[in-house]
Amino acid sequence: MHNHERDAWILDMVQPWTLADVLRDESARSVVYWLARPGDSPLTCPECERPCAGYDSQPRRWRLLDEDQFQTVLEGNVPRCSCPEHGVNPIRVPWAEPGHPIAQFVECSDPGASEGDPATRRGFLASTVAAAGSLLVGGAVFPEEGAGAEATVTRAEPDWGALRRRIKGEVVTPNDPDFASVRSSLVWNKIKPDRSPDVIVRVKNEQDVVEAINFARENGLKVVNKGGGHTWCGLSVRHGGMTIDLSGLNESWIDEATQTAVIQPVISNRELARRLGEHNLAFPIGHCPTVKAGGYLLNGGMSWNMGHWGPACLSVEAVEFVTADGKMIKASATEHQDLYWAARGCGPGMFAVATRFHLKCYPLPKAIATSNYFYSLNDLKAAVDEVVALGRTMPDNVELSIFLIKAPAELAEACKDHNGKVCMVVAVAFGMTKEESEAALAPLEQGTVVKKALARTFNEPTDFEGLSIASGESWPENHRNLCENQCSKARPSDMLMALRDKFVEAPSAKSVIVFCQSTGSRNLLEPNPEVALSIDATSYGGSWAIWEDEADDAANRKWQDEVIAIMKPFTSQHYIGETDYVQDPARVQESYSAEKWKRLEEVRAKYDPQGLFFGFLGGTRKA
């Protein structure tokens, strides 16, 4: 086939794409065709074909391989779309799909790729397929006229030995005998996802993170990082790609004089409270004691004393990142402000690896105290209505929560009509003195429904360690867990009454439903334009199905699904850190306002233009 014949053949084959421009350079023996996709064709996800919003457009090149060394290049701006289920991906380019005549004779690259790097064709294909958004390419030489050709798809195995030489930490691949156990350790939940990465990199320091990201980018590997592995749906494990395990980053530096701290990401809530307490400081840590700080803060941080201190992300003054291009940067109110905004609420969709958090701390409350009240489910509506109303008369440094939970042993007989279940009201005052906490908790003693309490305690002294112990008992380690949260402005008694009978039927006695309520004059969670966290609610909580035996999975999943269906009419939003959006991908965007979602995707496009990071949903389902 002569060149002019081939050119006509190309333009015919790429339809309905059209020729926008052409550049011929006879001295260089090359021709570049700039191709344009049909402007009126909708953007659809390449995996599920659903119509999607545009994300950005990236130039891609396909180079025909000629025996006579005459270079023919096809170039087009390939739009990327944002699918709520599969994340950001380039749209399908029909003539670059496997089996298409064009695809049999091209290799694919970014136009800026340096000549000869990677050195081998095998390595070139491995890296550029990923750079082009996983468009599959052929590996055949353009045949002589009349000759046949067979398309091949080649991906080189990355040189794991080279990666091991670049870092001080550990590289674990499926060929290593401990891979299965290491992969399992990436997920706190005893329910393990049916997914597996290509490699797990257990970093020892921040420079290891830089090297791991650079290696991933060079070898076409998508990236996700693991802090504590506490995402309820196992998001630190994806299909393929690289998981960067940050467990080795657990140091802290505390300055009592300035009431600030700098921490690495894998410090637990419990340990952070202990370290700060040694300096008479406190921070709005999370309720679950074993959750690690990194993911908790990136999610936004539903914290202890949230009504007074606010969500934890509001007390993050700066975050240090390794970005997709392997650079170490600091995001704050004065530098990389857009990334700083995104870092406080983006959660598992984050598009850089956070290695340090700069925290604003507070004087340690010296007289934390709790009051507990147990009510029969027969009195649920009256108790909830009065408790919620009294909460508004209490100061905002009181955390007020309403549980549906298994009754303590001493109340089991009194609760037998409801399968041993009870309503528990817990109020925690974060006072500086015993008198302050006592006054803050007093309203709950002054109501009328308190006389119906099956049992109660008032103004019992505790501390952050005591809170961690109590919370850990409600959310125990080494269990199978399903979680779904709801942010709501509905009347709490309506919601809990709707849930009551279904909760009584829970197949596991360890399952719990809890909603934290507003105290003082402010709503519990209010919109804040300074952070990506996007919740407007008077109550926050949800349902946790908790059990031990895998044989009980089906029953507990069915119960959890039924609870979610009951709560749906009362739900206005989700919190990205405690929602199973692998099960329901729509919950990702439901966790953000439309305005914040749009901005989040714009910031992602700026800092991760090639989509190195998996994001919210990438790699959660097999293609």
Which class is domain 367-591? alpha beta
Identify the pLDDT of residue 490: 95
pLDDT in the model for residue 103: 66
The residue ranking higher by pLDDT, 182 or 65, is: 182
Confidence at residue 521, expressed as pLDDT on a 0 to 100 scale: 93
Average pLDDT, the chain: 86
- pTM beyond 0.85, yes or no: no
Q: Write the pLDDT tens digit of every residue in 146-201.
A: 323 233 333 568 999 999 999 999 999 999 999 999 999 999 999 999 999 999 99
**Alpha carbons 291 and 272: distance in angstroms, whole number:** 11
Q: What is the pLDDT of residue 16?
A: 78
State how far the alpha carbon of 304 is from the alpha carbons of 283, 424, 533, 543, in Å.
Answer: 9, 18, 17, 19
Residues of the chain with pLDDT > 70, as a percent, come to: 85
Q: Residue 146: its pLDDT value, please?
A: 31
Tell me which fold the domain 159-364+593-623 belongs to. 3.30.465
Which phi and psi angles does 86 have, rounded to 5°?
Answer: -110, 5
pLDDT at 543: 96
Q: pLDDT tens digits for 358-408?
A: 999 999 999 999 999 999 999 999 999 999 999 999 999 999 999 999 999
Between 291 and 118, name the one with better pLDDT.
Answer: 291
297-312 pLDDT tens trace? 999 999 999 999 999 9
Percentage of residues of the chain with pLDDT beyond 90: 69
pLDDT in tens, 323-365: 999 999 999 999 999 999 999 999 999 999 999 999 999 999 9
CA atoms of 398 and 427, how far apart (whole Å): 6
Q: Is the pLDDT of residue 107 over 80?
A: no
More confident residue, 56 or 254: 254
Is pLDDT above 80 for 227? yes
Q: Who has greater pLDDT, 615 or 67?
A: 615
Long-range pairs of 494-500 with CB within 8 A, sequence gap ≥ 24: 494/570, 495/539, 495/567, 495/570, 496/380, 496/381, 496/384, 496/402, 496/404, 496/423, 497/380, 497/381, 497/384, 498/566, 498/567, 498/570, 499/404, 499/543, 499/563, 499/566, 499/567, 500/377, 500/380, 500/404
The pLDDT value given to residue 494: 97
Domain residue limits, the chain: 3-131, 159-364+593-623, 367-591
pLDDT in tens, 257-294: 999 999 999 999 999 999 999 999 999 999 999 999 99
Residue-wise pLDDT tens digits, 571-610: 999 999 999 989 888 899 999 999 999 999 999 999 999 9
Integer Cα distance of 441 and 223 in angstroms = 47
pLDDT at 105: 60
* Distance separating alpha carbons of residues 279 and 263, to the nearest angstrom: 15
CA distances from 462 to 274, 368, 387, 618 (A): 14, 5, 22, 43
* DSSP per-residue string spanning 536-557: -BSEEEEEEEEES-GGGHHHHH
Residue 133 has pLDDT above 80, yes or no: no
CB atoms within 10 A of CB 448: 8
Q: What average pLDDT does range 490-504 have in this prediction?
A: 97
Tell me the mean pLDDT in the region 427-435.
97
pLDDT at 108: 54
Residue 20: which pLDDT band, with cuts at 50, 70 and 90? confident
Q: Is 90 exceeded by the pLDDT of residue 432? A: yes
Query: What pLDDT sits at residue 534?
Result: 92
Confidence of residue 144 (pLDDT cuts 50, 70, 90): very low
